[in-house]
């Protein structure tokens, strides 16, 4: 299996085999969409195994809330597409504007919107939602402060300092709720909200622990292409990979996500089945790089990190660990398919795909290591030994580490692969008690490179070994990058020239210091059976991130697809 920690996506449905022996729960054939006048329906499998727990609380971000809560039942003000670089898409907000110094954000609220119970959605609902979020410490994970005021149909947020960087979190990741309902609930986090009233394209129809169904919101504000056309959406649970494959091929599932080893053969044999492989995040070797913060081991030496970088045969990784579904990454840690325009130096656009053994050995020798023709390098009587942590059962990553062991041996590095449980792997990385760890560099609140560099490189996001660092686990720290990150946060997002220059200065350091050694761009495979609906995201039209577990994107996809006639 692959992935799970810090946004790392579900890559392998194979690992969904669970102790449960569920049948194909709720997996009768989707309601026909082919005859006029009949109810149209699609069935969605988002990787759920076991029974569902009814919870549609839009304030939650813990995963306790069921996946269509945010984006499908409740909407944000704007939609931020992580699959490609584009402007935010208006939802309950129609436009927004910053003042000249980035301390005030004015949001125009869409008029004529109704909640799913037929009552009017107003700017007062938006102001209430944003004010309650800001004033409730348990909700306000941003740690930011602002004042909220109404100005006609506009909501005005005033910040104590320049706050451009808060834009996507506020506009794209806070579900707007009806004041009339939620103002009567003292602790909004302690309710399961089993009768949700939202503004999204769908509303809850029926629920059982085995499956639940959404139906079109008759009061939805969208018209024409913005209006949902599928009458009902069913969410189901499946037992294992074989069940998922069977359901996809038979048309009992219309939309699912996960790595199926035989996917190409399935598509060849079933013309109704298609898939899209979306650039997601960069897999890399996280190094505990900073001796000043307590990291120990040869990987604290940049020359050793450079040798590891040069020794990698990334084409072999992609072919054998990802079955050819991986994409070429960039030494800047950005995903080229999404952020090519923000890579300042074209020489850093893509990673080398073949190993450069001689360059790796030269890097070590220049640093005082003796590299024999066979065997492992030594310095001061010590062998060049390293240990990499990987989660046991993440099959693609386990395979990658086995390959990496052989590749590093060719340049004189003795690599021990330490397969551990996910909790132990996560704890080691967070506390800094590791040498190397295989993980992903995940995007933040939007496709902007700011969030990657702020989360993974800023000193403010790390801590000394033994203390918790949730994102900058490499313990990297550089005053110049810290200053540049702060400058970017205060730069008007429309000033692309200044931003590109700032990103370029960060990238120049990253490609030399290599606190995270990039390998490839992760796969995010999404499968469709096109018997009942068309208009799914495709490689040529990534209007949303396609994976069915992606909450905010889910509503965009469901209101875009159209029934087969």
pLDDT in tens, 221-277: 999 999 999 999 999 998 877 888 899 999 999 999 988 878 999 999 999 999 999
Q: Residues spanned by CATH 3.90.76.10 within the chain?
A: 78-188
CATH architecture of 282-521: Roll (3.10)
- Residue 188 has a CB neighbour count (10 Å cut-off) of 19
Region for 375 from its dihedrals, namely left if φ exceeds 0, alpha if ψ lies in -120 to 50, beta otherwise: left
Q: What is the tens place of the pLDDT at every residue in 125-134?
A: 999 999 999 9
Class of CATH domain 5-54+200-278+527-563:
alpha beta
CATH number of 78-188: 3.90.76.10
Alpha carbons 57 and 70: distance in angstroms, whole number: 9
Contact by Cβ (8 Å): 171, 96: yes
Q: Is the pLDDT of residue 171 over 80?
A: yes
Q: Is 441 left (phi over 0), alpha (psi -120 to 50) or beta?
A: beta
Residue 366 CB coordination number (10 Å): 11
Mean per-residue pLDDT, 490-499: 95
- Start and end residues for every CATH 3.40.190.10 domain found in the chain: 5-54+200-278+527-563
pTM score, whole prediction: 0.89
According to CATH, where is 3.10.105.10 located in the chain?
282-521
User: How do residues 357-415 score in pLDDT, each as one tens digit?
Assistant: 999 999 999 999 999 999 999 999 999 999 999 999 898 999 999 999 999 999 999 99
| Dihedral in degrees, nearest 10, Cα atoms 441, 444, 447, 451 | -80
């Amino acid at each position: 299996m692959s992935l799970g920690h810090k946004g790392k996506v579900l890559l392998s449905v194979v690992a969904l085999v669970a102790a449960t022996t569920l049948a194909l729960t709720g997996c009768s054939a989707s309601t026909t969409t082919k005859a006029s006048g009949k109810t149209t329906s699609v069935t969605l499998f988002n990787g759920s195994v076991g029974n569902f727990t009814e919870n549609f609380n839009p304030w939650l971000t813990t995963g306790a809330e069921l996946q269509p809560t945010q984006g499908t039942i409740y909407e944000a003000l704007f939609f931020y597409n992580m699959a490609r670089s584009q402007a935010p898409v208006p939802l309950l907000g129609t436009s927004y504007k910053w003042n000249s110094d980035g301390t005030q954000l004015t949001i125009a609220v869409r008029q004529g919107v109704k909640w799913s119970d037929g009552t009017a959605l107003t700017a007062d609902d938006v102001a209430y939602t944003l004010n309650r979020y800001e004033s409730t410490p348990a909700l306000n994970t941003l740690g930011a402060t602002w004042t909220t005021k109404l100005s006609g149909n506009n909501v005005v947020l005033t910040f104590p300092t320049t706050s451009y960087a808060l834009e996507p979190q506020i506009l794209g990741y806070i579900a707007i709720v009806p004041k009339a309902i939620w103002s009567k609930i003292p602790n909004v986090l302690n309710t399961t909200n089993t009768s949700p009233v939202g503004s999204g394209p769908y509303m809850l129809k029926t629920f059982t622990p085995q499956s639940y169904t959404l139906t079109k919101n008759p009061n939805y504000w969208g018209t024409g292409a913005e209006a949902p056309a599928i009458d009902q959406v069913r969410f189901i649970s499946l037992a294992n990979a074989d069940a998922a494959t069977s359901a996809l091929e038979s048309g009992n599932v219309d939309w699912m996500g996960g790595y199926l080893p035989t996917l190409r053969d399935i598509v060849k044999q079933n013309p109704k089945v298609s898939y899209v492989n979306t650039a997601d995040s960069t897999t890399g070797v996280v190094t505990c790089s900073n001796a000043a913060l307590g990291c120990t081991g040869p990987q604290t030496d940049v020359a050793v990190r450079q040798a590891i970088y040069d020794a990698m045969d990334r084409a072999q990784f992609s072919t054998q660990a990802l079955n050819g579904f991986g994409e070429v990454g960039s030494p800047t840690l950005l995903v080229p398919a999404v952020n090519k325009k923000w890579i300042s130096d074209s020489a850093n656009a893509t990673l080398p795909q073949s190993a450069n053994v001689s360059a790796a050995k030269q890097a070590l020798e220049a640093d005082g290591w003796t590299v024999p023709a066979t065997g492992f390098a030594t310095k001061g009587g010590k062998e060049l030994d390293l240990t990499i942590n990987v989660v046991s059962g993440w099959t693609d990553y386990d395979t990658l580490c086995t390959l990496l062991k052989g590749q590093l041996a060719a340049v004189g590095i003795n690599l021990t692969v330490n397969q551990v449980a996910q909790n132990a792997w996560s704890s080691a990385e967070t506390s800094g008690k590791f040498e190397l760890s295989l993980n992903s560099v995940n995007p933040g609140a939007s496709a902007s490179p700011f969030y990657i560099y702020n989360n993974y490189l800023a000193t403010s996001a790390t801590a000394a070994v033994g203390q918790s660092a949730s994102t900058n686990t490499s313990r990297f720290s550089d005053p110049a990058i810290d200053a540049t990150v702060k400058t970017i946060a205060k730069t008007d997002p429309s000033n692309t020239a200044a931003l590109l220059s700032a990103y370029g200065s960060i990238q120049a350091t990253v490609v030399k210091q290599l606190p995270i050694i990039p390998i490839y761009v992760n796969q995010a495979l999404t499968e469709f059976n096109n018997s009942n609906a068309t208009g799914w995201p495709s490689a040529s039209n990534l209007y949303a991130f396609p994976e069915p577990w992606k909450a905010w994107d889910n509503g965009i996809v469901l209101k875009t697809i159209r029934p087969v006639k």
